[in-house]
Structure 1
Amino acid sequence: MRMNDYMAPFVAAVALFAGHAAAAEPELDRVREMLRLDTERALVAERSRTPKPAPARAVAAAGDTLALASLYGTKGALTAVVVVNGQPRLYRQGREQARGASAGRQDYVLRRIDDGCVVLRKGAAERTACFDASAALPTPPARPVAAMAPGVHALQAPVPLPRP
């Protein structure tokens, strides 16, 4: 009997809170619904504010080969090294012409740099060159591995001299 007297206040407290929890359930559903609607409205507003990607344009004449060799700098001051027909050109964000290019020369001008890509324009045609890490790294030449003498560790082996 003593255990029941001890537990009675706890049982009464749980019963009180259970009643409030059941009564608050419809209010919680309303709050959840309001949050869901608010989130949907915020997403719609954000989607309308962000510019939609431009539709794919007709591919420019493939006479020139473009490759983005490197892209470095900080936001607003990016520098891109674009290889045009084997010749590296240095473009800085905020400047249309490549470094060292004359304004009268028919060459690619920088439109924008974004998301690892450089958009260039030559005449009316726009071309995009995106960074490809595997293409930027040169492949090392294959060299035959000299056989080690028995008992010689790789760090003790003589270093081969470069050929003239």
Structure 2
Amino acid sequence: MSEWNLRQWSLLGFVFCVLMMAVALVLEHGFGLEPCPLCVFQRVAVIVAGIVFFIAMLHAPQSRLGGVLYGLLAALPVLAGIGLAWRHLWLQSLPADQVPSCGPGLDYMIDVLPMKQVVSTVLSGSGECAEVGARVLGLSLPGWTMIGFVVLLAVPVAMMMSGRQRGCGYRWNG
């Protein structure tokens, strides 16, 4: 894997994002688990990372700068996803008397509120985000999402490292 180029790393990241979204959609449509607003924001982070990986895969720049730039661009939504999953886990760890009250649905907030207030409201959390809908091998779904994002973070790091090792192709003869 140390010999992989940017296109291969980008493909791996894109496929991983597709798999994460496939699991989310199977849980929603196959098992009837409705995503809370924080879950939706985590999905957006996965989709944005997938788009960056897809563009990097198509473009596949050969320069060192390209690998570092695409790695940084992909790392941003992945890090945001880690933060969102952490926030979700924190809300789920609160004692019942400290859980925020349930707020309006995300669709309603998007229709009525300015986007800045929607983001602020979702990040502050609500009671529905604190509910543990399902556990798999003892972990709640945000815990598994956090693991997915942490594993996914290895791809942008590898993209940046492969870009650094490859160099830009110019030699200094001085």
Greater percentage in strand: 1
**Which structure's relative contact order is higher, taking Cα pairs within 8 Å and 6+ residues apart?**
2
TM-score (normalised: structure 1): 0.24
Highest CA radius of gyration, 1 or 2? 1
Greater percentage in helix: 2
TM-score (normalised: structure 2): 0.23
